Amino acid sequence: VMDIKGKSYMLSVQRIENVERQLIKKNIPYPTPDVDINKALSDPFGIVREAEEFEAVVKLSDWQGYYEKEKLWPDSVKIEREGDHWLFKVRTCGIYWLKRWVMSLGKEAELLEPEWLRSNIRSEIENMTDIYQ
């Protein structure tokens, strides 16, 4: 992850090495990323990091909850049984990957919080409905 003008970008090792070589040729100091590695690795959806963290709660079906509970999630993830479903709770800054994960689970998952991201997913589903009608 590289921070450029307040935005974080994921770069491949090959690209990083190429950029580094170009900077060295031009005698430009190579920027050091401002990333807390332990914090980044504790966020399962923070591969592409947004500016601010938020709390997310996902309701999982009984079947999906058992499946997700067996995965190796970082300590930042809490999965708790509640009646006939499971609640998946995480503090993240990874809007893109959290949204993709929830949507990939289809009817087995429902994002409960935050409301702004729930609304965003709802809009995307409505757009998909228009496409597939």
- Does the predicted TM-score (pTM) go above 0.75? no
Size of the chain, expressed as the number of residues it contains: 133
Residues 90-120 have pLDDT tens digits of 999 889 999 999 999 999 999 999 999 999 9
Instruction: Answer yes or no: is pLDDT of 80 > 80.
Output: yes
Residues linked to residue 81 through DSSP beta bridges, in sequence order: 86
Instruction: Answer yes or no: is pLDDT of 41 > 90.
Output: no
Residue located via tokens 């170009």: 22
Which amino acid does the sequence have at 108? E
> Which pLDDT band, with edges at 50, 70 and 90, does 45 fall under?
confident
* 2 backbone dihedrals φ, ψ, rounded to 5°: -125, 135
The C-alpha atoms of residue 31 and residue 69 are separated, in whole angstroms, by 39
User: Where is pLDDT greater, at 24 or 94?
Assistant: 94
The DSSP letter of residue 13 is: H
